[in-house]
Amino acid sequence: MAQKPSIPKGTRDFSPIEMARRNYIFDTIREVFHLFGFRQIETPAMENLSTLMGKYGEEGDKLLFKILNSGDYLRGADPALLDARESTGKLTSQLCEKGLRYDLTVPFARYVVQHRNELQFPFKRFQIQPVWRADRPQKGRYREFYQCDADIIGSDSLINEIELLQLIDQVFTRLNINVTIKLNNRKVLAGIAELIGAPDKLVDITVAIDKIDKIGIDNVNAELREHGLSDEAINALQPILSISGSVAERLATMEGILASSEIGRKGIEELREVIGGTERLGLNAELDLDVSLARGLNYYTGTIIEVKACDVAIGSITGGGRYDNLTGVFGMPGVSGVGISFGADRIYDVLNALDLYPADALDTVKVMFTNFGESEARASMQMIKHLRTAGVSAEIFPENSKMKKQMAYANALAIPFVAIVGETELAENKVTLKNMTTGDQELLTLEELIKRLAD
């Protein structure tokens, strides 16, 4: 007996209805990207592991899907490592030269360095492609998922951050999703690390405190102890992570706390400029300051952005920030960039949970012609050709079947109109158009049919 087919955990099939909904998301985001002057690129699904490794921190490296070398992949492996069942990175590098991309930002940095002589800086690019992470699948977290990225590289101006916040707001306004946009600055986090006497533990601190919403402050403190932070340093961190008040009040509090830290003061200054510029332009979304926000990625150096849906319990649905020297690891130092990434799959789950899709989001055909025989089908196909030329989507039921079966097909696919060409219509060179919602019917000429459906 043949084994029942399945797909890997953390991946999904999408039906035509689901794809229509996903395309609604992609099309909305793509339209806004174009509106803000971003230009599209694509990069390969797989990259050299040398491109990917070391860019996402130790935890990120563990989540990279690695691809075994083609052919006899054991041929170049050290027998001693194999015999010892060695699982270190040294053996991995001998067995795997390539990996599936973890995100779109690092491949973008590689692209910029590789094509630097072809680009005009600042370069504004967008990219809508899948990424892969060897994560534990759970609600809202998948091993294969799409990201929709927009980045501006080659400019230090904080106008770029303000523009990206406006872009985020525009996308979620169009999708009708209520969101909170959370902001922080990596320099503020560096200032905090200085303040508590642990500047060398910045990465450990940011990775841990970024999990506060998921695991709670007590577990964060336990993780910090595991990474070697003293109780004194951990105690000094607590009031910083629990500041309250309005955004302006929290900024003022943090400014006072970080008065002795030059890098911390710089972070507050940048936050003031970004928040002030954004508030002057106005947002539909709520703007919030979250000093625990770190996003756990080592390449952020300035502004950090995260977006949460207000009406659905799910992880972040958009994130990003500034990275001052990501291209430096590829031999092009000193190029600053800032970018955001929309999590299309989580946005999809939010729209499903709230049933926010517009009625016309389903890309069904507009009219289906019935089929009552060879002569009727031939006349119908002539009309269909004229309709398609006029931009009206149309199809014909391919079989000469009973009317009930043909109508059931149209109903199942939510086709709004059925065009009937029978003996009477054929004799008059007309068509009966049935509205599948109201049940109304009208006898029309081809010209009238086109005008009726093209509106």
Binding-site residue numbers for L-histidine are 103-105, 133, 147, 151, 295, 299-300
Helices 186-195 and 202-209: angle between axes, nearest 10 degrees: 110
| Residue from 37, 60, 208, 24 nearest 133 by CA | 60
* Closest C-alpha to 227, from 196, 255, 250: 196
Segments in 176-230 forming alpha helices (H): 186-195, 202-209, 212-226
Residue with tokens 């005008």: 451
Distance between CA atoms of residues 258 and 36, nearest Å: 35
Instruction: Say if CB 400 and CB 377 are below 8 A apart.
Output: yes
Query: What is residue 209's DSSP assignment?
Result: H
Instruction: Produce one character per residue of 240-270: b if its CB has 16 or more CB atoms within 10 Å, e if not.
Output: beebeeebeebbebbbebbeebebbbbbbeb
Could you tell me the CA-to-CA distances from 12 to 6, 135, 166, 345 in Å, in that order? 10, 15, 32, 10
Q: Quick check: 55 and 296 in contact, CB under 8 A?
A: no
Residue 361 burial (10 A CB sphere; 0-12, 13-18, 19+): middle
Contact in structure between 433 and 441 (CB atoms under 8 Å) = yes
Extract the runs of DSSP E, i.e. beta strands, from 113-217: 123-132, 144-153, 179-185
For CA atoms 418, 422, 425, 429, give the dihedral sign: positive
Please give the annotated binding residues, written as ranges: 103-105, 133, 147, 151, 295, 299-300
Can you tell me the distance from the alpha carbon of 280 to that of 25, in angstroms, rounded to the nearest whole number?
28
CA distances from 408 to 128, 368, 402, 411 (A): 37, 12, 10, 5
